[in-house]
Amino acid sequence: FSRRAVLGGAGAGLAAGATAGVLGGRAAATPAASAPPALGRTAVPFHGTHQAGILQPQQARVQLAAFDLTGGDRSALRQLMKRWSDTAARLTRGEPAGDHENQIATDAGPCALTVTFGFGSSLFDRIGLTAQRPPALAPLPAFPEDALDRARSDGDLWVQIGADDALVAFHALRVLQQQAAGTASLRWQMSGFSRTPGATDRAMTGRNLMGQVDGTNNPKPDTPDFAAKVFTDGPGWSAGGSYVVFRRIRMLLDNWENLPTDRQERVIGRRKSDGAPLSGGTESTPVDLAKQNPDGILAIPADAHIRVAAPASNGGAAMLRRGFSYQDGLLPDGSLDAGLLFLAFQADPARGFVPVQRRLARGDSLSRFLRHEASGLYVVPPGAAEGGYVGQGLLD
């Protein structure tokens, strides 16, 4: 779903009414009479049924981080989640942080800031709440060709900070890190980016670093089974939350770019220019996996990414992908360390990411251009009510 559709309150994807209400959408903090909201003034409420940062379109920048508790004290964690929730609510309104305000983002508005918190499996053991760990938080299985760096994977607490300004995103991370001192320390941190609002003339699906239109066939919020795919209905404290799978996926861009465009298109099953499926039509035309070309060959090859990943190939498995690109300098061999910070929100990873990745890793034709280098699975608690904090159902 598109960013401008939300900003403009029109058309595709999340309807403006829905986002401003239950879903917690974007609105101008001080809207001018008829002008569209300025990028800086765009504010996304922190409080709501679901945490912000799931249903909103990707912002231009992301900071992802995981923290490990430095002690095993449940009441210290409760204080931290209260403090973090209070700070996130202030920052998303465009107010100073209070404690540890460092002025990095002074002068800027909230820039669509969202702060999303998750809990890793290890957290529950650490604070003596093993019995409260949801079964869906069982560790992800090992997949063929995984090359995971555990130091950049997992973690007790996970934070996703999205904003349309890099200083605003960094500011929020730095404040949260300093507020955690004595209770939790940074385990890993990664920065990512996505298209900046206003970069294209009209609302468009974004592109990844392989040049593909990416995000087209995400579950649509206006479809009846959307909530059942993305949000969990239990157990107790986590109802209304979600699970996020994170994968740092490096792209072998030199190999990819040596492939002619028509072959690149058969790797995905969609046209590179406009994202239309190779079975015909435009980007939004439903994919016809059975369609054959006049020569009898499948229009969408048997190992094309969209065929292997499709819900129809995986017993209905679905997830809401919300990834960001990254670029992190050079590798020792001189190639770019670049790719996708893949994030997928779902009601149950065993009925979402796991079956799909099992099939992809066994050999869709995109996999040979990718390396999965880090991984995480976190339960994303439901949103906090005004005056409450994220994780309250578990920690109070």
Residues found near ligand HEM in the complex (CB under 6 A): 208, 210, 212, 214-217, 247, 249, 251, 268, 270, 287, 305-306, 309-311, 339-340, 342, 353, 356-357, 360, 370
CB of 117 to ligand HEM, least distance (A): 23
3-state secondary structure of 161: strand
Q: Compute the C-alpha angle 235/239/240, nearest 5°.
A: 160
Amino acid at position 194, single letter: S
Other beta carbons less than 10 A from residue 249's beta carbon: 20
CB 159 within 8 A of CB 116: yes
Q: Which of these, 158, 113, 174, lies nearest to 390 by C-alpha position? A: 158
CB of 120 to ligand HEM, least distance (A): 19
Residue 99 appears among annotated catalytic residues:
no
Q: For 112, which DSSP code?
A: T
Nearer to ligand HEM, 31 or 368 (CB): 368
CB of 380 to ligand HEM, least distance (A): 17
Nearer to ligand HEM, 23 or 360 (CB): 360
Bridge partner residues of 344 (DSSP): 245, 321
Dihedral Cα 176, 178, 182, 188, nearest 10 deg: 70
Element (H, E) at 346: strand 336-346
CB of 270 to ligand HEM, least distance (A): 5
CB 42 within 8 A of CB 168: no
Half-sphere exposure of 175 (CA within 13 A, CB side): 29
Nearer to ligand HEM, 159 or 267 (CB): 267
CB of 255 to ligand HEM, least distance (A): 13
CB of 151 to ligand HEM, least distance (A): 21
The single residue of 214, 225, 337, 364 carrying the catalytic annotation is 214
Nearest residue relative to ligand HEM (C-beta): 217
CA distance 29 to 327: 32
Bridge partner residues of 183 (DSSP): none
CA distance 339 to 159: 20
Which residues are known catalytic residues?
214
